[in-house]
Structure 1
Amino acid sequence: MPIAAGLALALLLLPIGGAFAEPKPTVAEAKKKLEKLNEQADKVVEKYNQAGEKLKRARKKYETLNGDLNRQNAKVAGLRKGLVTMAVNSYQLGSVSGWEGMINQPDPTMLLNGLAAVDQMSTSRALTLDAFDEANKVLRVNRDKAKAALTEADATRDELAEAKAKADKMVKSQTALLNKLNAFQPGNPNSTGLKYNGPASGNARAALSFAFAQVGKPYRYGGTGPGGWDCSGLIQASWRNGGVSLPRTTWEQWSWGASRKVSLSELQAGDLIFSEGLGHVSMYAGGGKIVHAPQTGDVVKVVPLSSYGRRVVGAVRP
């Protein structure tokens, strides 16, 4: 019985829940992990958005080149038809009824006119042959360009799929943590938001009025509205409403504003505020507040700039 007694003692010494059960993270630990995940998600989402924009450009390039290719095909087909017609005419001119009939003309004037016609046809044939040859060269170039653009689009599509898979995984982790904290906010895609009553005027006021009308709608990575937004999608659409065309991603928006940067001490309503690493962008609303689409599990909201929660790298005035 000593063996049985030893086993019983060992079982009594095991912690409740099993020897290998991991302790649940505390609320503070979960929040810290979520903060780190949100920082990582900013970068992952922007890479996804960049890949999406790259794919759009590659597709547009291919469609343009393919259109050129089709037009060039039609031009070559027309020239080819002209060459066939000319070959038939040349054959007929070379027959007895053509050459012999012309040479045997008793009237010298008619003979000269006939020779002039032959010379004109020869020149025209040479020009048509040259045009056909040149058109074929352009056709080959266009075909190669279109093929390269299509290959580029295919590669970018793969890049987008990889970025999306990473973003999906990140969102899943964020959502799981938020649910543990009972902090997941699904938002309302049909939210009518808030009315902007801040100090902005002109284009900036139009941009902020649009952004405030989105308050309460869910954050969605890759979101460009109307039912959900990511940070740069919200900014782009808001300033479009203000009559300014911004690029799609935070990195591109920051680059676009290279000559429009302003000091954080001189912020005006409507200015764009970028986080360190360029993974997030918000809009200054005046009065020390910003409007932005924060991250997964949250909604478009207006908060104090002091609670931004991200290290700021700079600001741009559209």
Structure 2
Amino acid sequence: MATGLAIGLLASPVGVAVADPKPTIKQAKAKLSRLNNKADHVVERFNTATERHKTAKKKYGQLNSSYKDKLATVARLRAQVITMAVNDYQMGSDVTSWPAMLGQGDPMSMLNGMALSGQLQAERAEKLAAFDRENKGLKTQRDLAQDALVAADDERDKVEKERAEILKLIQEQKKLLRELGAYKSGDPNSTGIKYTGPATGNAAAVLKFAFGQVGKPYIYGGTGPRGYDCSGFTQASWRAAGVSLPRTTWQQWAWGAKRRVSLDALRPGDLIFSEGLGHVTIYAGNGNIVHAPQTGDVIKVVKFSSYGRRVVGAIRP
């Protein structure tokens, strides 16, 4: 027997790696919790970069539109100046200085001399002055638009960087959830459940909407109607009550700086923020919350006591 064992050991391939033991359910859940916490913050960075990109893109659009308007104004005034030069030529006026004036960046120096010599009427002098003012402002407007475009491109790059990290995290989350048999794809067309809690007024409208989304999937960057992330969900729910919240958890927390409430005094509709501002939920009353949890899960109602994330505070919109 000993000889056979020795032969078996000698015959075993040298250097063959022994597979790592499969993680226990407890270990897998702990890893998933860490991934979810990390994903919370990455998604909010993605949302923030997305909002900044939208703002920068809008600013560029406005400045570029102003630049085009000014460009058209300069072209129109230039055409008037050329018409004035042609008329003077046809009338036999001294126009030897017109080409030089139209070709230089600052026609005012020549304009002043011509005006002093009485060669231009007041109306013509004003047209030339207007042409000069608009011409000078054109470069400034163009530079502002170009700076705004660079800023928008920079924010777009940040969005794509965060998106790439999120996609990597999503794959890890989905793999773990499937191993645990806990992956939920959700139903984008879910009609939810009826809210029967104690909310009144605006909060009742908020929770009627929120409960109507139960069963829809968590989607990073999602603002509805087929799926949401946590802050997209709270924003949409409060919009149903006529209140406009900012897009991200960080912005919502800052927006509510003067609306903070104690966790001991929660009312239905209050927003509860996790430590680090990576996640936000809605208090539904009777010790329940409704929220969009994380990738591989659906919008759902759970006990606040089972929330699983540390809480930093709450606001009442």
Q: Which residue of 2 aligns with 1:245?
A: 244
Unaligned runs of 5+ in 1: 97-117
Deviation at 1:5, TM superposition (A): 8.7
Deviation at 1:218, TM superposition (A): 0.7
Q: State yes or no: 1:291 paired with 2:285.
A: no
Distance in 2 of aligned mates of 1:245 and 1:283 = 15
| Alignment CA distance shift 1:217-1:5 (3 Å) | closer
TM-score by length of 1: 0.87
* Residue identity matched to 1:277: G
Equivalences for residues 84-233 of structure 1 within 5 A? 84-94=82-92, 122-233=121-232
Deviations 1:253-301 (A, max 9, x none): 1111111111111111111000000000000111111110001111000
Equivalences for residues 269-280 of structure 1 within 5 A? 269-280=268-279
Q: Which residue of 2 aligns with 1:57?
A: 55
* Residue identity matched to 1:8: G
| Alignment CA distance shift 1:126-1:273 (3 Å) | same
Structure 1 residue runs of 4 or more that deviate by more than 6 Å after TM superposition: none
Distance in 2 of aligned mates of 1:150 and 1:234 = 31
Deviations 1:125-171 (A, max 9, x none): 22111111111122111100110111111111111111000000001
Larger Rg: 1
Q: Give the aligned length.
A: 292
Distance in 2 of aligned mates of 1:255 and 1:199 = 27
Deviation at 1:90, TM superposition (A): 2.1
Distance in 1 of aligned mates of 2:141 and 2:299 = 46
* Residue identity matched to 1:57: T
- Secondary structure of 1:125 counterpart: helix
Unaligned runs of 5+ in 2: 95-116
Distance in 1 of aligned mates of 2:5 and 2:308 = 57
Match of 2:40 among 35, 42, 56: 42
TM-score by length of 2: 0.87
| Alignment CA distance shift 1:120-1:42 (3 Å) | same
Deviation at 1:92, TM superposition (A): 3.1
Distance in 1 of aligned mates of 2:11 and 2:45 = 51
Deviation at 1:185, TM superposition (A): 0.8
Distance in 1 of aligned mates of 2:208 and 2:23 = 41
- Secondary structure of 2:176 counterpart: helix
Deviations 1:158-195 (A, max 9, x none): 11111000000001001000111111011111110011
- Secondary structure of 1:273 counterpart: strand
